Structure formats: C-alpha cells, structure tokens
Amino acid sequence: MEYIQGTDRRQEILFPEIIDDYIEEGNPVQFIEAFVNSLNLKELGFKHAELNSTGRPPYDPADLLKLYIYGYLNRIRSSRLLEKECRRNVEVMWLLKKLAPDFKTIADFRKDNRDAIKRVFKEFVFLCKKLDLFGGELVAIDGSKFKAVNSKKRNFNDAKLKKKLKDIEEKIEQYLEEIEENDNSEAHDRLPDKKELNGKIELLKERKEEYQELSKKLKESGKTQISLTDPDSRAMLNNQKIEVCYNVQIAVDEKNKLILDYEVTNAVEDSDQLSEMSKRAKNILEVEELKVTADSSYYNPEEIKECLDNGIIPYVPERNADGRKNIDPSFYKRKFTYDKEKDVYVCPAGNVLKLWATYNARTEKLYKTEKCSSCELRLKCTSHKRG
C-alpha cells in the first residue's frame, strides 16, 4: 500500500485556454460583475467615473469596486492582501480581467469614495427589494462595537481630566519641596539639582495647560467625552472591558437574514437607538406596520412609545432592577410604585424611597433617590422627570 500520490511537477499539463472556464456557473463573482455593471457610478459620486481628456489614465472605479466587494464577501480587509489576491486568486483574475492594482491604489479608492460606497449599499438594498428578498414583516436590531484607532490614553472625560490635573498639581508640589530640600541639604548629598527639577516643573505646567484646554473644549461642546486621534469615537464597554469604539447599529430582515440598514454611532449604550433604527427600516421597506425585535439593552419606555406611535411593534425584554442577576424578582423595578403627589417611590416592602442621587444619561440631568432599608436597592427614576 502506498500514500495517495500527487502529479509529478515536471509533467506537462494543459490548462483551459480561457480563464472564463475556471469560473463555474453560480460563482458569486458573476453576481458581483453583474451588480457593479448595473450601477451608474457617476451618479453615485465615484471619483474618476468620468474620464478627463488629459493626464495619466486611472483604473476604472468599477474594477476597484468589484475588488472591494469581493474582499468584503471573503473577509479580506487589508489592501495589501487584496493586492496579493490579484496575482494568485483565479476568481479575482477573472473579476478584474487580470488587472493587479497596488495596495496604495486600493487604499486610496476606499478613502476617496467612502460616501459613494455607502450609496452602493443602498443600491444593493433596493435590488433586494426588487427581487423580493425582504419579508418586510419582522426586523432584528442589534449593535456591534468596532474598535477605533484612538487609544484609551487619548480619550478623556471630565473626571479623567480632573484627576490628571490633580496629579500634576501634586507632582509640582513634590518637585518644589525637593528644590527646597536640595537648597537646605549639604553639598555632598546627591539630590536632583534645581535646574533639573525646574525643567520637570515646566514640563508639568505645559501638560497642565493642555489638560485645561481639553477640559474647556469638553465643557463648550456639551459632550461627555473627547477623543484626540479619532474625534468621533467614545470609550464604551466592549467584551467586558472598556475600549474606545464606535457602536454600529444593524437592522436585519427575517426572511433571508439580509442586512437592511446600518448606522455608525458613538452612543455608549443601545437604549436610545431602537426607534430611530426601526423607523429607518420601516421607511426602507415601505410598509404600514413592522415588527421589531431587540435584546434587553434596547429597553427604554420612551423609545418603545415612539415605536408604537409610528406603527412599529417592538418586542424587547425588560431589564431587571439594576442589572444584577441575583436580585429577588419581587424587587424588580416594575414592582415599585410612584406617588406623584408626594414625589416618592414605594418599594414592595412598603418603605418610601426619598431623593438621593442618580443620573439620566439621555437628558443629562441629575435626579435623586434614596437607598431602601428593606430591599437594599437604588431605584433610578425613568418614569418621570424633575428639573
């Protein structure tokens, strides 16, 4: 018995005479070819969709778009990897007619045509509607966190800036004490000299001015965070740790599990995204009524009411009292009652919860409640507002 043997590398073989013979019927690249050829790239706003009479001829944006879509479908994101595929992948050779643009050209195409590529996604959605690929009855909405290029060290909020400024003040005070100690010490004691310490103090003062300027910009903007490298990104919980990300909202139709719509946001939580994404999905599908499902992170009474007012029926599980799994269901938030005249809550045990402190991130207002001695819970005010 012998192992299965391959073909001798020196043996002459005959490949198909034309590259089209390598692409079987139904191969996804044939759909990419037909879809891109059906688009009006000039109307979509692609750069070089209309040729100039002078200058070096560019690549056809249709060819680069085909390569971009192929990379998206096959999870090839890197422009350098796409360049390699052009030289070794028979499907890409067929799709681009053996063109092999370099990675810089591929990267520039993405950068120069960001808005136009978004419009291509919309064109694909319209095509799916024409082909009756959307059910138009039930849509699922969820968010996905995408890491930004901004590091945590270059993301600041008010508390972080205050801590940085406090640390700098303490450092400056420490260096000033060392200067005084150095002046009073004997010559043979080796301590940092005054020039060295003054240099460190100046450096800290410069850093202090930078943080003060950031704090000022943060207050003027009315935002809760500021990022230096990627200004629109925000620090948020991702995979059980805090990372600087974007929160991408996605709506998927139930019939064929096709993405109906998406929106890149910097919302730290999903609780304010339900109605907006639902209304967008309803408008795209052009239906009178739509059912929408989402997980408990989208539970928000105001958002649910907004959906119902616009002919959207949301199916969203209610979150428990304050996110802890070991809470007795008897003390879930919905079990509490609100006394409007006295402006207090009453817990299931009959105790009154007076004002203490909690924060509503959406309205950016401070509300107050008090810890209940029986249930040991802090109840956040969501059913009414106080100034």
* E strand residue ranges, the chain: 138-147, 155-157, 225-227, 234-238, 241-253, 259-265, 290-293, 312-315, 337-339, 344-346, 352-353, 358-360, 365-367
120 pLDDT higher than 70: yes
Supply the pTM of this predicted model: 0.66
More confident residue, 33 or 2: 33
364 pLDDT higher than 90: no
At 221 the pLDDT is 74
* Sequence ranges of the domains in the chain: 19-130, 138-145+233-315, 153-227, 322-387
What amino acid occupies position 58? P
Query: Residues for the chain: how many in total?
Result: 387
1 pLDDT higher than 50: yes
Q: What percent of the chain has pLDDT over 70?
A: 83
At 386 the pLDDT is 37
- Taking phi over 0 as left and psi of -120 to 50 as alpha, with beta for the rest, 20 belongs to alpha
What amino acid occupies position 336? F
At 69 the pLDDT is 95
Instruction: Pull the structure tokens for residue 88.
Output: 């070794």
More confident residue, 61 or 333: 61
378 pLDDT higher than 90: no
At 203 the pLDDT is 80
Supply the DSSP string of 154-198, one letter for each residue: GEEEHHHHHHHHHHHHHHHHHHHHHHHHHHHS-TTS----HHHHH
279 pLDDT higher than 90: yes
Greatest alpha-carbon pair distance for the chain in Å reads: 94
Average pLDDT for residues 79-104, to the nearest whole number? 94
Range name among 88-97, 120-129, 166-175 with the lowest pLDDT average: 166-175
- The pLDDT confidence band at residue 46, using thresholds 50, 70 and 90, is very high
At 380 the pLDDT is 42
- The pLDDT confidence band at residue 376, using thresholds 50, 70 and 90, is very low
Name the residue among 82, 88, 131, 141 with its Cα closest to residue 109.
Answer: 82
Q: What percent of the chain has pLDDT over 90?
A: 43
List, for residues 260-270, the tens digit of each pLDDT value. 999 999 888 99
Q: What are phi and psi of 280, to 5 degrees?
A: -65, -45
305 pLDDT higher than 80: yes
Helix and strand totals (H; E) in the chain: 11, 13
91 pLDDT higher than 90: yes
Range name among 208-222, 300-314, 322-336 with the lowest pLDDT average: 322-336
165 pLDDT higher than 80: no
How far lies 243's CA from each of 143, 225, 233, 235, 237, in Å? Answer: 15, 13, 10, 5, 6
- The pLDDT confidence band at residue 387, using thresholds 50, 70 and 90, is very low
What amino acid occupies position 51? L
325 pLDDT higher than 60: no
Measured distance CA(178)–CA(194) in Å, rounded? 9
Hey, which residues does 346 pair with through a beta bridge? 337, 352
**Is the CATH number 3.30.70.420 carried by domain 138-145+233-315?**
no
- The pLDDT confidence band at residue 278, using thresholds 50, 70 and 90, is very high
Name the residue among 71, 82, 69 with its Cα closest to residue 38.
Answer: 69
Q: Which range has the top average pLDDT, 144-148, 159-163, 207-211, 347-351?
A: 144-148
How far lies 60's CA from each of 42, 45, 107, 267, in Å? Answer: 12, 13, 15, 37
At 255 the pLDDT is 94
Average pLDDT of the residues of the chain: 82
Instruction: Pull the structure tokens for residue 180.
Output: 């005084």
Average pLDDT for residues 84-111, to the nearest whole number? 94
What are the residues whose beta carbons fall under 8 Å from the beta carbon of 49, sequence distance 6 or more?
Answer: 41, 42, 61
Angle at 364 between CA 363 and CA 368, to 5 degrees: 95
More confident residue, 374 or 172: 172
Hey, which residues does 146 pair with through a beta bridge? 246
At 346 the pLDDT is 84
At 258 the pLDDT is 92
Hey, which residues does 238 pair with through a beta bridge? 241
**What is the DSSP pairing of strand 225-227 with strand 241-253?**
unpaired
